[in-house]
Amino acid sequence: MKQYNVGIIGATGMVGQRFATILENHPWFNVKVLAASARSAGKTYKEAVGDRWAMPVPMPKTMENIIIMDAEADIEKIAGMVDFVFCAVNLTKEETKKLEEKYAKAECPVVSNNSANRHTPDVPMVIPEINADHIKIIDAQRKRLGTKRGFVAVKSNCSLQSYVPALYPLDEEFGVEDVLVCTYQAISGAGKTFDTWPEMIDNVIPYIGGEEEKSEKEPLKIWGKVEGNEIIPATKPHFTAQCLRVAVTDGHMAAVFVRFKNKPSKEQILEKWESFKGKAQELDLPSAPKQFLYYFNEDNLPQTKLQRNLEGGMAISCGRLREDTQYDYKFVCLSHNTLRGAAGGAVLLAELLCAEGYMD
C-alpha cells in the first residue's frame, strides 16, 4: 500500500496526543509534522507537552524531538511537507473553520475532529461503517474552494458514536422512529484528566455545553443523502438527548430508548447487530474493527473499564437489550471517546479517503 506523510495540527492536546500514539506504528501513515499554537511552536514535542501527557502509553520516542510548528503561521510550509493533516484544536468555531479552509486551499486535505465544519453542507461527516458514500461530496466542495486536492472531511461528535452505530443497522428494515438517549460521558471528552479537573472526582455534572444539540442534530446529517452540491440531512429518526459528565477517564456510555415503525423481535435486533458490516470492513481498512458491534448477554455488561478498549477502542459494545413500557426497546451501548469517538475515528476516515483515492 502507498505511504502517506501526515501532520497533526493540535498535536499537544488530548486528541492530538491520541493521534500521536495511534499513528506511531501505522502501516500507511508517517507523521512528519506536529503543530500547535504559537505558545508551543519552536519547542520539541516533549517540551511543549510537558506534564500534560495524558495517554496510558509513553510519548512515541520517534516524535519526542520533533520541533512543533506554528499551526497558523506555517500553513504553506506544512502543506509542502505532508499529504494531508489531522486537525484537533481548541479554537472558536469561526477560527477553526478559517484555519481548516486555509489548509484545504493550500491543497492540503484536512481530516478534522473539530465541530466547526460539521454542518457545512458540502463537508462530509462520516462514520466509515455507516455513510462512507458521503465522501463523494468532496468533488463539489473542491469546486467551491477552487482546489485540486484540498478539502475538509470531518468525523462526528464523540457522544453519538455509541448509539448511532447500534441504531443504524435497524433502520432499513424496521424504521427507527423515535430515540431518547442519555449519555454518560468521560472527562477526556473535555480534554481533561482527574489531575487537571479534580472537581470531577466522585462527581457527576449534568451539563456539557452544546452536547445535547449535537447529539440530536448530527445523526440526521449522517442519515442524510448527497444531492447535487450538498448533503441534505434526514428528518428522521427523531432524537432527544441528555448528556451528563461522569467520573470516568475514557469511554462514553449511552442509555437508549427506541420506537420503531415495525417493531422487530429481540432476536432480529441481535441478528442485525451481529451481522452488520460497513465499507470499513469491506475494504479491510487497518483501523477497522473486525466486528463493529458486540452484544454482551451478561446483565452487568458492557462496563466502561472492561469493554472500552475492545478491538483497539474501535468497536461498539451493546448490552441490556429488553422491551420497554413506553418505547419498544431499551439498551445500553459504549464507545471509546478518544479512540472511536475522536482520533481513531478520524484515522479510519483518513484510511477510507486514501483507499478511495481522495488523498492522491
Interaction between residue 317 and ligand NAP (CB under 6 A): no
Chain residues 121-160 in contact with ligand NAP, contact rule CB under 6 A: 158
Q: Is 218 in the site for ligand NAP (CB under 6 A)?
A: no
21-29, 129-137, 239-247, 338-346 -> range binding ligand NAP (CB under 6 A)? 338-346
CA-closest candidate to residue 352, choices 276, 277, 293, 283 = 283
CB of 5 to ligand NAP, least distance (A): 20
Query: Any contact of residue 71 with ligand NAP (CB under 6 A)?
Result: yes
Q: For this structure, is 134 an active site residue?
A: no
DSSP codes of every residue in 39-108:
TTTTSBHHHHHGGG---SSPPPHHHHTPBPEETTTTHHHHHHH-SEEEE-----HHHHHHHHHHHHHTT-
Q: Binding segment for ligand NAP among 85-93, 130-138, 170-178, 327-335 (CB under 6 A)? A: 85-93
13 binds ligand NAP (CB under 6 A): yes
| Distance (Å, whole) CA 29 – CA 238 | 38
* Contact by Cβ (8 Å): 245, 208: yes
Q: Which stretch binds ligand NAP (CB under 6 A): 23-31, 82-90, 131-139, 234-242?
A: 82-90
Interface pick for ligand NAP out of 188, 249, 317, 335 (rule CB under 6 A): 188
Closest CA to 290 of 268, 320, 312: 312
In the numeric block, which cell numbers belong to residue 121? 453542507
- One DSSP character per residue, 92-152 reads -HHHHHHHHHHHHHTT--EEE--STTTT-TTS-B--TTT-GGGGGGHHHHHHHHT-SS--E
Q: Is 220 an interacting residue with respect to ligand NAP (CB under 6 A)?
A: no
108 scored as a contact of ligand NAP (CB under 6 A): no
Can you say whether the dihedral through the CA atoms of 238, 265, 156, 145 is positive or negative?
Answer: negative
Q: Which stretch binds ligand NAP (CB under 6 A): 32-40, 201-209, 241-249, 273-281?
A: 32-40
| Of positions 166, 341, 348, 350, contacts ligand NAP by CB under 6 A | 341
Minimum Å distance from CB 249 to ligand NAP?
A: 11
- The question of whether 158 is a catalytic residue gets the answer yes
By annotation, the residues acting in catalysis are 158, 252
**Contact set with ligand NAP (CB under 6 A):** 10-16, 36-37, 39-40, 71-72, 88-91, 113-115, 158, 188-189, 191, 337-338, 341-342
